[in-house]
Every structure is written in structure tokens, then in C-alpha cells.
A and B are shown apart, each in its own frame.
Chain A
Amino acid sequence: DTEVTQTPKHLVMGMTNKKSLKCEQHMGHRAMYWYKQKAKKPPELMFVYSYEKLSINESVPSRFSPECPNSSLLNLHLHALQPEDSALYLCASSQDRRGRSYEQYFGPGTRLTVT
């Protein structure tokens, strides 16, 4: 299995809702990423997990809460979002070897709309 899967594909939520985005990979990758992509813009890194530990948090507001329950799963918990948080949320994974970068494999994304 060489794919990163993401659920749901689309999500519409109100500003008071709590929802979660899910990401899964079975390539044995030990680094997993969350990106935010606004329309016609490049992906912006939000979080990176390495060996299930949070390695990078790009000063993301606390209304976004990542979780890595095991080496294959990555969640993004959402609470009290703002309309400007509407975007495509991409998950990616890669190998993890200190000091070197590897290609990232991206999921198809979850299109989030906050009303």
C-alpha cells in the first residue's frame, strides 16, 4: 500500500463544533505531517510528528490539536474554528532519518468549510 488516505473528503462545520480529520498510511513511514492549503496557494506546514512525537508546531492556534495515536495514524482535532480556517488540509508522510530529507507522500486532502 503506497497511499496516504484521508477522511473525510469534505467537512462543513460550524464555529462551535468539534470535529476530527483522520490520516492513515501503511508505508512504514515514521514522519507524518499536516499542511494547510488555501486556494491557489502552496501548502503551509502546520505540524510534524516523528516517531509519534510532535516534532514541529508552526505556531498553529490551539483550536487545532494534532494527535498521533500510532505510527500509521494521524489525527487533527478541530474546535471553535473560524471561517478563515476554511481550506484544504493535507496529510503527508515520509521516511525519517536524521539530517536527511525524503520525498513526502501526500493524501488527497480534506476540504474544510467553516460556517
Chain B
Amino acid sequence: AQRVTQPEKLLSVFKGAPVELKCNYSYSGSPELFWYVQYSRQRLQLLLRHISRESIKGFTADLNKGETSFHLKKPFAQEEDSAMYYCALNTGGFKTIFGAGTRLFVKA
């Protein structure tokens, strides 16, 4: 079955500390993976996707097919990074499967 697992419901770090939000997926084919973010009182929006291999707002994510992971990382967390982060899997077509989400709280 296709599945996305985000093991941490809440992640709390201090400003300036590194942050890593974990995401593991279950899919036997070639996945397309995304990170979506929802800031307080804002709409859900795309943060980054693995095929573009870009860094957005200092965040990066590398697809590791061997470990079936797509962890989101940032070397120095900022208070404005506090938000809900969803890892999402698309297996082709219109269906996107979202993980349960991780709430990141960056403390001053």
C-alpha cells in the first residue's frame, strides 16, 4: 500500500539550531515527493519537490530511495519557520497522499 509516514507530530527546536523533519514513504515504483507547508492562518502551499532539487527558504530535501525517505532539513532554524509541514507522495496521476504532518515550533 502507498503510505507516507511522518513520525513526529511535534518538533520543537531553538532558533539557530539545525532542524530535520522526517518523512518515509511506501511505494514500489518511482515516486514524486513534495513538502507542503502551512503557516498560521495561511493556506497550504508547496515548499519544495524532489525533482527540482532546489533550496527554498533554506530548506532542502533529498530523496533516498534505498531508505525510502525524503527528510526535510535546514541548518539554522528561524522563528518564521514555525508551521505545519506535510510530506506528500504522488505516484503518477492526480492522487497525492499526505503524511499526518509535523508541527515545527522554533523557540526564540
Contacts and interface: CB of A to CB of B under 8 A. Distances in A.
Interface of A: 4, 31, 33, 40-43, 45, 48, 50, 55-56, 90, 94, 96, 99-101, 103-109
Contacts, number: 47
B89 to A, nearest CB: 10
Nearest to B47: A103
Question: How extensive is the interface on chain B, given as a class?
Answer: 10 to 19
A31 B94 contact: yes
B26 interface: no
Which one of A45, A94, A104 has the highest number of Cβ atoms from chain B below 10 Å of its Cβ? A104
Nearest to A40: B101
Interface of B: 32, 34, 43-46, 49, 86, 90, 92-96, 98-101
A100 to B, nearest CB: 7
Contact of B45 (A43, A100, A106): A106
B99 A42 contact: yes
14 contacts: A31-B94, A40-B101, A90-B44, A94-B94, A96-B94, A99-B92, A99-B93, A101-B92, A101-B96, A103-B46, A105-B45, A106-B45, A107-B43, A109-B43
Contacts of A33: 94
A103 B47 CA distance: 10
A82 to B, nearest CB: 24
Contact of A42 (B93, B95, B101): B101
Contacts of B34: 103
B98 A42 contact: yes
Contact of A106 (B44, B93, B95, B101): B44
